[in-house]
Chain A
Amino acid sequence: MSDKIREFNAKGINAFRIYLDEIKNGIRNDLPKDFVHKKTLTKELSVSINKGVDDFENKYDMAKYLYQELVVGNPVKNIWSKVGVWSWLSAYYFDLVCPDMDGVRKPGEDYRHILEVSRLGGGWSRFYRHLIASPVRLFAFSLASSRILLSANFYENGDFIEQFASKREYAGNRTIISVLNRMYFDENNNKAKRGAQTKNRPGTHRRYLTILEQLLLNYDIQTMTDDELISLLPDEFNAWLQDPE
């Protein structure tokens, strides 16, 4: 299967918004067939994709694939601000980002599907919630270390993204994300370590966030290596730095 990537025009985005409303209000349960290929609503780009909704193992896998197709070599100019492309991809992979669960789809807020960029004071705060653009951007920032951020289901952001990717200066700080990945990602099982998100447990990711806020007052973490940052963390994080048994 191979498809040319397309870009929604203004009418296409408007139509997508209306369909999302209709799904939220129970008027329809899916996007119309062939919506993503309508020539009046979309423009074809020169880039192709050959993976469909069933071809990705997880969100990381999807982000890595789309990064290679859309970002490496810069095949689409100004890709991060291409609202029409990212929104079209959301519609194209709609079964991933808004799955039918027992006959019901829950799209949530429009900005999860229709990318919002460069809005005064609100750009990143909406961008990171887009269910396709955000994983690809986080992969672009941190490559393999983004696995922990992308360990949630396709249709949700998960707490690691909410806590660490919601601030642009954290999301783009490779050292912070790399240490986060080292501590809480279980390489053997390809998911977050058990108990990493348990509240009130020593050394969890929320404690890491609290410690980072203190360290950032005195340190420029971006210029540090992983080990230099780890050396500043209190002992409560030691257990998370060991490989799981």
Chain B
Amino acid sequence: MIRKFNYTDRKKIPLDYINITLRNESKQAFFDAEIKPLDSLDIQDDAILVLEVFDRGSYQRFDFGTVEFPTPPKAYESFLSEIQEVDAVSFRLRAIDKSESIGKIVASTTSIRVWAEEVSEARKRSLLPVKRGSIGDAVWQVNFDVPDDGEPELIVNQRFDEIAIREILRTDAYFTSLIYPAVLNAILTEAIIVRGIMTEDSDGWESKWLKFVYAFSGMSPLPENANKNRCREWINEIVSQFSYQQSMLETLLSKLRESR
């Protein structure tokens, strides 16, 4: 179990207290939000509620009433005019103190990812959202800087065609065999070595990835006192197993032979 300090005594608003859906009207994105009464959460009644909407490059916020009287925006007021990527949008509801420590965040949900209706189920279930983005001349990057412990994202350079890159990432042996093992390595390194999370029993993205890794590899979890070298060895073994199961080396070698 991961333990974190909560110096500011911030309350957590459970995700099942709010339900958000996206709606498309005349090619413009809106959202609808329903919220359960928050009075059981022991948050001061007069704290104001703010719904923040964001993706990697854009941000918008909506007043949401107070803890005592939550007031979602009306249907016509919820236009996501500032948000660039409207097929997968992140939301966060926050309660803000306006009486004692003004401006202090007294309660918050974690990041809530909401998918547009038309997005395929397979993409919604994906552990690794893929986005195109401005990353200089890099071909790809894993973005861990996602607010509120949001899951890491694979960013591919926006100079790739949007449709073509999705197909390439699914089927092109050059890309898949070279990128995915490196992505897996980067993600496990971040989770285990940088963040020190080795168990699968928390709410965060790290645990989802560890569950995924245990499921496909059948490997034993790392002991809690494993040092960095042991962690690196373990990650390398996992990446090797993953590459083996996906026949990555074989596929790449055969592709190279064909191209000669």
Q: Give me the interface of A with B, judged by CB distance under 8 Å.
A: 118-126, 168-169, 172, 218-224, 228-229
Q: Is B162 an interface residue (CB 8 A)?
A: yes
Residues of A within 8 A of B131 (CB): 120-121
Give me the 5 closest cross-chain CB pairs, A-B, nearest first.
A121-B133, A122-B134, A224-B103, A123-B84, A169-B59
Closest chain B CB from A162 CB (angstroms): 14
Return the chain A residue nearest B102 by Cβ: A228
Known: A168-B58, A168-B82. A121 touches B102 (CB 8 A): no
Is there an interface contact between B105 and A218, defined as CB atoms closer than 8 Å? yes
Q: How near does chain B come to A133, taking the closest CB pair, in angstroms?
A: 15
Check B113 for interface membership: any CB of A closer than 8 A.
Answer: no
Query: Could you say which of B48-56, B183-191, B202-210, B217-225 contacts chain A?
Result: B48-56
Q: Give the residue of A121, A218, A219, A228 whose beta carbon is less than 8 angstroms from that of B56.
A: A121
**B105-A120 in contact (CB<8A):** no
CB contacts (< 8 Å) of A123 on chain B: these are: 57-58, 84
A169 close to B54 (CB less than 8 A)? yes
| Bitwise interface map of B from 79 to 120 toward A, beta carbon under 8 Å scored 1, else 0 | 000101100000000101010001111000000000000000
Contact A219 B133 (CB under 8 A): no
A124 to B98: give the CA distance in the assembly, Å. Answer: 31
| B132–A120 touching, CB < 8 Å | yes
Cα of A228 to Cα of B100 in the assembled complex, Å:
12
Can you list 19 contacts pairing A with B, beta carbon distance less than 8 Å? A118-B84, A120-B133, A120-B158, A120-B162, A121-B55, A121-B56, A122-B134, A123-B57, A123-B84, A124-B58, A126-B134, A168-B57, A220-B96, A220-B104, A221-B103, A222-B61, A223-B50, A223-B102, A228-B102
Give A171 Cβ to nearest chain B Cβ, in Å: 9
> Interface residues of B, CB < 8 Å — how many?
28
Task: Say how far A209's CB is from chain B's closest CB, in angstroms.
Answer: 15
Contacts of B10 in A (CB 8 A): 218
Nearest to A175 among chain B residues (CB) is B103
Cβ–Cβ < 8 Å partners of B54 in chain A: 169
Q: A121-B132, A124-B57, A228-B102 are in contact. List 15 more A-B contacts (CB 8 A).
A: A119-B134, A119-B158, A120-B132, A120-B133, A121-B55, A121-B57, A121-B134, A122-B158, A124-B84, A126-B134, A169-B59, A220-B50, A222-B61, A223-B50, A224-B103
| Residues in B whose Cβ lies below 8 Å from that of A120 | 84-85, 131-133, 158, 162
**Shortest CB distance B161–A (Å):** 12
Residue pair B133, A218 in contact (C-beta under 8 Å): no
Chain B residues within an 8 Å CB radius of A218: 8, 10, 104-105
CB distance from A77 to the nearest CB of B (A): 12
Least CB separation from B61: chain A residue: A222
- In whole angstroms, what is the CA distance A173 to B94 when docked? 16
